[in-house]
A and B are shown apart, each in its own frame.
Chain A
Amino acid sequence: MGKYIEMIRIRFLMMLAYRTNYYSGILIYSINIGAYYFLWSAIYGGKENIQGLSITQMTTYIAVAWMARAFYFNNIDREIAMEIKEGKVAIEMVRPYPYLNMKMMQGLGEGIFRLLFFSVPGMVIVALVFPVELSANAGTWIYFFISIGFSFIINTQINLLAGIATFFLFNNDGLIRAKRVVIDLFSGLILPLSFYPMWAQNIMSYLPFQGISYIPSMIFTEGFKGSQVFEALINQAVWSAILVIPVYVLWILAKRQLVVQGG
């Protein structure tokens, strides 16, 4: 346990060294949310609500979706791919800790940093400028934080899968890009899933992606109520558990497959 906390700490400190990026990042996230706000205002064009979300809820949804993204988003897929391509993974694998767990902890260190130095101040700025509604209900906040915890796990597991695929494809920039696009579309980052036609929603309900963005954002905007919140959290928990299996299997196969391409 201690070694994992140490890894989170080291990554956190690394991020702190590069913190200037994040001031600009806050600004850019705010511009992003602002542009979406106006886009949605135009789309609403006077309508009271669309698919049960008011324009304020919609703005909040977008703001929270982007702020939560700062926490769950990481580049460990690209890092793994790079380490495999450069042959560094061989050294990493003989170190006295499981490689994948270490990567996950590094991602967590990054996420915690962004949550504290990026999402929180960013949200304050966005809430001052745009009509964002922050819930006064303590329960909502608690469920939201549990939910983004699961978002992190699901997203990171998918990143691990994409990263490990480098063992088989040798070069998988394309796969990583495709993964990112699929997540943007199916996770509900750019559009709440309830806006999609029913047949598309049905397909998406069998995929893990909604657990990444749609569920936490809906919990925060209180678009989910009562038992829906619990069902959503259980959905996330189940996917977090299921995804362990492909990660584990692929990793075992990958170790057999290892071709060090250099280094």
Chain B
Amino acid sequence: MEYLSIFFQYAGQYLKTRLTYRADMVVEIFSDFLFQAVNLVFILVVFGHTTLLAGWSKDEMIFIYGFFLVPFAIFSSFFNIWDFTDRYIVKGEMDRILTRPVHSLFQIVLERMELESLFGAVTGLIVMFYAGGKLGLEISWYDPFIFLLLVLGGALVYAGIFISLATIGFWSDSRTDIMPMMYNIGNYGRYPVDIYNKIIKYVLTWILPFAFVGVYPASYFLEREEWYTYAFLTPVVGLVFFMIAVTLWNVGVTKYRGAGN
């Protein structure tokens, strides 16, 4: 309960700061749209030169991309911690966080949230409905619930991976360029993983399970029954990776020695 009220207080403050820099907020929302468009352009341009990608059609690829945008939007709204080491460890901001009686990770999530990223979910839904319509997909009454479950699972996968990476900062306080690159790797989970060789497929499924944010859960809605097992594993994988991340975080915090100031 207390955490919930803290959340809303932070969200209120957040809106105030956002409205102070209004021009930037508009540009930021616009840049998010642009970012989503870039990947769509990639799919469209590529399918200008080929019709099927490992047995998946253009509209199916677009649908997977639309699905991916939804968990990704949730992730980027709340787990914007790619510069954690720079911001909190190198500059010693972590000292401030640790003196407060709320879980440190929760506080950082609150401080760094970017609620406007949620617009990405809207784009994702539009893209999904567009592609789904062209594919003639049918929606059952329980599909929205499954959708929510799979989206949450996907967002937790992303959060788990990025929080785990952020915890590296507790052991090594040097700057790291891993995070931005990881965003790129995250993109590969959107493509049908059977196009990759076994090692990469394995990595994208079990080590950096980005495939659970894109192609696996989306294949449920595309009625690709051969992937159903993976599709329904999504929430499980999400929870497991998120729990690993929180554990790593809790251990990491005990290793933290103020670096800055």
Binding site for B on A (CB under 8 A): 17-18, 20-22, 24-25, 28-29, 31-32, 34-35, 38-39, 41-45, 47, 50-51, 169-175, 177-178, 181-182, 184-185, 190-191, 195-197
Using known A-B contacts A43-B49, A50-B49, A197-B48, determine if residue A174 contacts B28 with beta carbons closer than 8 Å.
Answer: yes
Using known A-B contacts A50-B49, A175-B27, A177-B31, determine if residue A32 contacts B195 with beta carbons closer than 8 Å.
Answer: no
Residue ID in chain A nearest B31 by CB atoms: A178
Using known A-B contacts A42-B53, A43-B50, A172-B24, determine if residue A28 contacts B174 with beta carbons closer than 8 Å.
Answer: no
A-side interface mostly: helix
**Per-position 1/0 for B153-185, Cβ under 8 A of A:** 000000000000000000010111110011011
Residue ID in chain B nearest A114 by CB atoms: B177
Residue ID in chain A nearest B38 by CB atoms: A185
Binding site for A on B (CB under 8 A): 21, 23-32, 34-35, 38, 41-42, 45-46, 48-50, 52-54, 172, 174-178, 181-182, 184-185, 188, 191-192, 195-197, 200, 203
- Whole-angstrom CA separation of A198 from B69 in the bound complex: 29
Q: Which residues of B contact A173 (CB under 8 A)?
A: 24, 28
- Whole-angstrom CA separation of A20 from B177 in the bound complex: 10
A177 near B42 (CB under 8 angstroms)? no
A169 near B50 (CB under 8 angstroms)? no
- Shortest Cβ-Cβ A-B pairs, 8 listed: A174-B28, A178-B31, A174-B27, A42-B195, A171-B21, A28-B181, A177-B31, A38-B196
Using known A-B contacts A32-B184, A35-B200, A38-B196, determine if residue A43 contacts B46 with beta carbons closer than 8 Å.
Answer: yes
Using known A-B contacts A21-B177, A25-B181, determine if residue A174 contacts B30 with beta carbons closer than 8 Å.
Answer: yes
Q: Which residues of B contact A35 (CB under 8 A)?
A: 185, 188, 196, 200
Using known A-B contacts A28-B181, A185-B38, A185-B41, determine if residue A170 contacts B49 with beta carbons closer than 8 Å.
Answer: no
